[in-house]
Amino acid sequence: MGETEGKKDEADYKRLQTFPLVRHSDMPEEMRVETMELCVTACEKFSNNNESAAKMIKETMDKKFGSSWHVVIGEGFGFEITHEYC
Amino acid sequence: MLPASAKIPLKQLHRQSICIVRGNRKKDEESGTDVVEGTDEWNHSKAAVRPPDQLELTDAELKEEFTRILTANNPHAPQNIVRYNFKEGTYKLIGFVDQLAVHYTQAGNLIPKDSDEGRRQHYRAELAAGSQESAKLIISEENLEEDEEPKELEAEAGSQTDVPAAGAVEKVTEEEMMTPKQPKELKLTNQFNFSDRASQTLNNPLRDRECQMEPPPRTNFSATANQWEIYDAYIEELKKQEKTKEKEKTKTPVAKKAGKMATRKLTSMESQSDDITKVSQAAKIVERMVNQNTYDDVAQDFKYYEEAADEFRDQEGTLLPLWKFQNDKAKRLAVTALCWNPKYRDLFAVGHGSYDFMKQSRGMLLLYSMKNPSFPEYIFSSESGIMCLDIHVDHPYLVVVGHYDGNVAIYNLKKPHSQPSFRSSAKSGKHTDPVWQVKWQKDDMDQNLNFFSVSSDGRIVSWTLVKSELVHTDVIKLKVEGSTTEVSEGLQLHTVGCGTAFDFHKEIDYMFLVGTEEGKIYKCSKSYSSQFLDTYDAHNMAVDAVSWNPYHTKVFMSCSSDWTVKIWDHTIKTPMFIYDLNSAVSDVAWAPYSSTVFAAVTTDGKAHVFDLVINKYEAICKQPVVAKKKNKITHVQFNPIHPIIIVGDDRGHITCLKLSPNLRKMPKEKKGQEVQKGPAVEIAKLDKLLNLVREVKTKT
């Protein structure tokens, strides 16, 4: 019983990580959707190199939406940023 | 002798700063005492000449010494400059302000020797010098030859050698100068072959302009992203999804099939009826506009036409026919009930049925708006003829109807069904005979809707809508008085009277009147179920309508098929006024705007309007209102705000008529007195009349 539960949880856990999840965003809907797709593409392409994935995302965002984007990719970090808002 | 600048009167000297005075004195000292005295005198004499706007000061003031401090500060420079410091995010004062003021700048053309340009120029100059020297050598050789010749000449000339030599030298130098030109092509400017022209245009003074914007709004954002945060977020998301799935599941089993059907229908019908449903609102408006245009003159009459002839017709009025409402489906059904909607003053409900005992068919409930005379706004059909209807005051979308088969039903106009929302049935205590009148009452204590109905089976029933079911309560059973017969076993058989009309008192809630087929009117109370408060022997035939006066609390009116209309005071057993109209009177109604105006309609197609103030004995308007004389008018209703009445006949037509001004007369004000309006006045009016009648009665 425990095992099956454990397996179920694992399966759930694996299922968990298949879809992109947004925690916080203040972008307009279209922009957000495009950005999500871009991030997914970049991370899949450079799955073992976060730096190049971040580079790709930043350059594409700068081209599409105007300059000065900052991209951080990682699995364990804290951050505090100041940004303009409208 | 003295410089012009020193011509300063003594008095002014003290106001100037420093130097000039000293200079004066020095000079004086040098030139000796004589001169000094003289200068002083001269100065004094000079001092006598004063400019007219010179300040007048006392000696003490003159001797005052003023010190002036000259500083090197730039008076035009700002004293406090504030700059936004991005590091700290605030505005900061800059302590040190630049005091440098530039008065004149000129770009010079000196270049350092060691710089590139300097070296290039030096090189060029050297080249030029080099070519000159070579030219010089050549020329000097030539010149030597030349010199020898003139020298020979000069030897002769003697003293003039200098000059020709000089001239030769000059020539030589000139030649020197001229020849280097040719090989190098350097155009050296001299006043003989080159002239410089220059001009300076006005240079506009330069001015610095600066501007500083507000810094753009910023905000901080911080978070952590690590494994457990990611995991938690995903778990939350999954939970949310599960919740939504559950909600869908609970809805889907019920609505699934219906939903599928609906979607199928929609998809199939969409292509066809899509346009119509979307355009329904617009189509409605267009329909109304078309109607308004078609009946434009009628609409104008309704709003603005006032019968001008009324001025000449003293005490008589007319009814101006406006619109006619009819519907094909209700063509052969008689109008059995009319009611204006209390909220939408242009909407009225018409009940169709049949008064014929033998020919009973279906019934219809139509609601017309005056804005659209050609088609009703709402159509409901029922199996049994509708005999009466009433619209709730607070809920103008609830219509209660009474049927010929004894049922009562409530229609909800808000819902699109053509079926009534609630219906009584044999189980729930419907009447056994036609329901002649229904009236909404105030909501009971539990906020449930309730209404009363009266029927030929002698029961007055109060129906309450409890949790979407009609519950009935018998309020009163009408008994024909004096007809209880005793049967052997001691039971008392009552002959049941048949109620045909009732009306509730406007203020005394529990009191109401019931008219019966026998021609009696009973005054009853909701609380007493077996006893009547009072009985009036009203008519010889069935009472068709009873109605309390809207203003006067004591007066009511009744009409009957015995051709009479009677007005009563409920405290007096005999009627106050009796009118005989030569034909069976089918309906009578008080006017909402006056306590003394009422209308009665008869089966010969005439409408009679009375105003007791103007004429106590006769109608002020007797007018046939239906097209064919055969049509019997069945009901009449006044519109609560507009000066119109609607009249229904037994062919299913409804005619709308406008009351002429004579029919709506307000009491003439005595000169100087204000016209008073309001119920009190109306009551007083009627009271006056009644008193007259009562006096007459008491006298007789």
Residues of A in contact with B228 (CB under 8 A): none
For chain A, give the mean pLDDT. Answer: 81
pLDDT at A53 over 90: yes
Euclidean distance between CA atoms B320 and B306, whole angstroms: 9
pLDDT digits (tens, 9 = 90+) for B253-286: 655 555 555 555 555 555 555 567 778 888 888 9
Least confident of A74-83, B153-162, B257-266: B153-162
Greater confidence, B69 or B11?
B69
Are the beta carbons of A21 and B237 separated by less than 8 Å? yes
Strand partners, B543: B560
Residues of A in contact with B239 (CB under 8 A): none
Nearest to B414 by CA among B344, B478, B463: B344
Cα distance between the two ends of chain A: 54
B226 touching A (Cβ < 8 Å): yes
Are the beta carbons of B225 and A80 separated by less than 8 Å? no
Euclidean distance between CA atoms B142 and B152, whole angstroms: 16
Categorize the per-residue pLDDT at B595 as very low, low, confident or very high, splitting at 50, 70 and 90.
confident
CATH of B296-482+494-668, one of 3.40.50.1100, 2.130.10.10, 1.20.1560.10, 2.30.110.10: 2.130.10.10
* Whether ipTM exceeds 0.85: no
**Element (H or E) spanning B125, and its range?**
helix B116-157
Euclidean distance between CA atoms B457 and B435, whole angstroms: 9
> How far is the alpha carbon of B304 from chain A, nearest alpha carbon, in Å?
57
Over residues A15-24, the mean pLDDT reads: 76
Chain A residue closest to B217 (CA)?
Answer: A84
pLDDT at B383 over 50: yes
pLDDT digits (tens, 9 = 90+) for B465-517: 877 777 888 877 776 655 445 555 555 566 677 888 888 887 887 888 888 88
Percent of residues, chain B, with pLDDT higher than 70: 75
> How far is the alpha carbon of A7 from chain B, nearest alpha carbon, in Å?
16
Are the beta carbons of B219 and A75 separated by less than 8 Å? no
pLDDT at B634 over 70: yes
pTM for the model stands at: 0.53
Strand partners, B435: B455
B222 touching A (Cβ < 8 Å): yes
Cα–Cα distances in Å, from B436 out to A1, A22, B455? 75, 69, 5
Q: Which residues lie closer than 8 Å to B19 by C-beta, 6 or more apart?
A: none
Chain A residues with CB under 8 Å of a chain B CB are 12-13, 16-17, 21, 23-24, 74-86
Of A17, A81, A86, the CB nearest to B222: A81
Question: What's the confidence (pLDDT) of residue A45?
Answer: 92
Question: What's the confidence (pLDDT) of residue B218?
Answer: 86
CB neighbourhood size of B662 (10 A): 21
Are the beta carbons of B230 and A75 separated by less than 8 Å? yes
Chain A residue closest to B218 (CA)?
Answer: A84
Are the beta carbons of A84 and B217 separated by less than 8 Å? yes
Residue ranges covered by each domain of chain A: 26-63
Are the beta carbons of A78 and B224 separated by less than 8 Å? yes
Residue ranges covered by each domain of chain B: 296-482+494-668
Over residues B563-567, the mean pLDDT reads: 89
Over residues B517-538, the mean pLDDT reads: 83
